[in-house]
Structure 1
Amino acid sequence: MGTWIGHVSAGMFFILFAIWWHINNCIRYLKSLTNETNEKQQVKFRGSTTYSCNCLPSKILRQLPIESMLKILITSIHFSLEISTGYRKDPMPHIEEENAHHTAMLFGFFLGSWIEILVHLKVPLPKRTTQVMGFLAFAIESVMMVFHLHARNVMDAHIHKLLGLTMMCSMISALGECFNPNNFWLIITRIFFALTQGTWFIQAAYVLWPQTNNPIFIWDPQSHRSLSLLTMSYAYHLAGNAFLLIISYLLVYMSTSSRRKLIHYEIDDDEIMSDYKLISNINDEDNCI
Structure 2
Amino acid sequence: MGSFAGHALPGGFFLFVGLWWSIKSSLWHLTRRNKSIGSTRLPSRAVQRRLEIIESSVIVFFSVVGIIAEQFAANGPKLQLFDYTENHWKDMMNWQHSTMYLFFGLAAAVSLIVHTTAAAPLPLDRLMLGLAFFNEGFLFFYHLHGRTTLDVTVHQLLLYAIFGQALVAFLEVFHRGNAILELIRSALTILQGSWFWQIGFIMYPPNGPQWDLNDHSSVMFVTVCFSWHLMFALLFTGLVYSAVGCVVRARLRRTPPMEMGLLSNQEREIWSQRMKSYEKYMPGFILMFSYHSLLDSVTKEKCIGNNSREMKGTF
Percent of aligned pairs with the same amino acid: 25
**TM-score using structure 1 length:** 0.77
1:68 alignment partner in structure 2: 56
1:126 alignment partner in structure 2: 121
Distance apart, 1:161 and its partner CA: 0.3
Moved more, 179-188 or 91-100: 91-100
Distance apart, 1:224 and its partner CA: 0.6
Q: Quick check: 1:170–1:194 contact (8 Å CA) kept in 2?
A: yes
Residue 227, structure 1, aligned to residue 212, structure 2:
no
1:139 alignment partner in structure 2: 134
Distance apart, 1:110 and its partner CA: 0.5
Q: Distance in 1 between matches of 2:185 and 2:162?
A: 10
2:8 alignment partner in structure 1: 8
Q: Distance in 2 between matches of 1:165 and 1:87?
A: 30
How many residues are treated as equivalent by the alignment? 247
Q: Distance in 2 between matches of 1:11 and 1:190?
A: 16
Q: Among residues 87, 90, 95, which one is paired with 2:77 in the alignment? A: 87
Q: Quick check: 2:186–2:237 contact (8 Å CA) kept in 1?
A: no
1:165-176 correspondence runs (5 A)? 165-176=160-171
2:103 alignment partner in structure 1: 108
1:1-289 correspondence runs (5 A)? 3-35=3-35, 62=50, 65-85=53-73, 86-87=76-77, 91=86, 95-212=90-207, 214-215=208-209, 218-259=210-251
- Relative to structure 1, the CA distance from residue 64 to residue 165 in structure 2 (aligned partners, 3 Å threshold; closer, same or farther) is closer
Residue type at the aligned position of 1:17: V
Q: Distance in 1 between matches of 2:134 and 2:185?
A: 13
Distance apart, 1:92 and its partner CA: 6.2
Distance apart, 1:3 and its partner CA: 2.8
Residue type at the aligned position of 2:69: L
Q: Distance in 2 between matches of 1:126 and 1:255?
A: 33
Q: Distance in 2 between matches of 1:199 and 1:260?
A: 34
Distance apart, 1:243 and its partner CA: 1.0
1:87 is paired with a residue whose SS is coil
Moved more, 114-123 or 91-100: 91-100
Distance apart, 1:179 and its partner CA: 1.0
Q: Distance in 2 between matches of 1:5 and 1:79?
A: 16
Q: Quick check: 2:161–2:191 contact (8 Å CA) kept in 1?
A: yes
2:227 is paired with a residue whose SS is helix
**TM-score using structure 2 length:** 0.71
Q: Distance in 1 between matches of 2:154 and 2:176?
A: 31
- Relative to structure 1, the CA distance from residue 140 to residue 52 in structure 2 (aligned partners, 3 Å threshold; closer, same or farther) is farther
When you count helix as a share of all residues, which structure comes out higher?
2
1:125 is paired with a residue whose SS is coil
1:19-59 deviation line (CA, Å, top 9, x unaligned): 111111111212222346x6x96xxxx9xxxx9877xxxxx
Q: Distance in 2 between matches of 1:127 and 1:242?
A: 28
Residue type at the aligned position of 1:87: P
Residue type at the aligned position of 1:207: I
1:151 is paired with a residue whose SS is coil
Moved more, 72-81 or 229-238: 72-81
Residue type at the aligned position of 2:31: K
Distance apart, 1:228 and its partner CA: 0.5
